[in-house]
Structure 1
């Protein structure tokens, strides 16, 4: 699910292979080569050739995971998942602690000069995994899953790259950051998700119960809605990525994030926020979730005769249609508008995935 979103939203993506012996998505390698070579599967830390540095990344990850467990945040984050059964679909590496440790050590053992570092890391990892024995199995699995997320976060910080965490890791990582991190991409996609959320709330309110509750990841649900079978998902995501509308949306998002990062052209950033607000409002008006915005005008009526009193009337006039037409012509907004419109009729990703043919 998160890979599909990354394909559409990210200009260049790298998947770390340090804990794997095989490529994560061989098909994506081929699709990337045909497209714009946006994807790489590689051992990122190995490029630095410094095992002591990688050892420090693992030490920080152990420390943050222990803080997560001792504070109770790990258990709280687990409670946010749609179902405890989700833990069962984690990769095997997160359900076998011995294998988990061995795969991490493999990335350090490649050189004989790292023998001392490998021994010390082995000791630390064994101590860490054994300390998880007091937790239920599901929570142990989730702790290892969180640990790897912290490693990727530290690695991304080291390489000055943006880390797009698995959706189940997002809350975990945010809980351990000293400073919250927000991306304009999240703001834009969040705006598109508001339309379905408001419609969902209105329906639940009408029923007096939570009849619609499934999480709806906007991009992934849109991608799977265009695919006819599971084996087509990556190809479909790349086709959407390469469309003119998605390309323009991505360029717009990156430009806004550059301005925010450099704290410049703030009027442009505010204009972008206003565009998102207007887009959501127009969609809500179309769905009857909000009244049409109006402007107040005073109309004076009078006969062209002396001493004839004039009559004043206050009228409320709907916003002109050209405002909506202009928004629809903006390519990046067309893409976001289509996502939001499709979100109303499409089932959530989880439901679609269960129904999709292999």
Structure 2
């Protein structure tokens, strides 16, 4: 089976982890802050907070922005459930904004229409989570302008997008948002085995997330409510979590980060081959907004033929050893969200996408012969 994605681990990556295994620290050592500094530098952000998953990073970002009971968070329905669940963890409610028909990201136009209605009803969102599907940035200039007009905060869920750019600048630099989230799951562009990070230019938000990722405990005297009793002293300032990243993970991340640009470049080479070889098939191929340079975590096609059903095409590709996937089922169509009152038809463009979308294999280790196998299987299935 050719998977839709997989990690690329080099001997240098392995050596970096072995070096930590042979050191004094396996966790809470020097590698995590070193990785954070490298991430912040690469993205031109002031602060990076490394954690054990992007889901944890999303939760911390919502908490740092003060999301709580009575608040509403808006996001896109075409994302993994974590982009919505993070608001529920905080006691807030969630709503969804339909997607753009070309990028499959949250539609800035649909967002504006929904904001106009919400303002009249007095139910504006506290936070909007803009998800960069496949690695392509949302239209952040428009979303940022709307945030200033309507008073909401912005989290960029860039779990797919490290190494990408928007208007020539690295995604994660925070020019148009309060916090940006990255994922380092093995199928993502770089990996720490499992892990994530939250980047921000706001010192208060960074300090808040660092405290919350480690039980709400601090050893910093400047943050304490009284003078320390001794060098051993620490204080729990609020209810936090154990969301820490280990030095083992950070060492792998540091090594992977050194190859990030080459990883993204290779993904663009693979995508260009797909673009050329699939051009004559009854498919909608990925469209790139001129303001973006995608990290290309996913290569998503949409079926535009009535001769072969979506289910049949998916099943035939799987049967031929092509590990295609579907990213994603609209979140509000999950039973958990349906129980909240969401129903089919809530976001028409998202549901149209769901009926047609398939993710083809794309990862740096994909061989040319394997890609030809994917294309041939797709051609045969469409016949």
Q: TM-score range by the shorter chain?
A: under 0.3
Structure that is richer in strand per residue: 2
* Higher gyration radius (CA): 1
Please give the TM-score of this superposition, normalised by the length of structure 1: 0.26
Structure that is richer in helix per residue: 1
Between the two structures, name the one with larger relative contact order (CA 8 Å, sep ≥ 6).
2
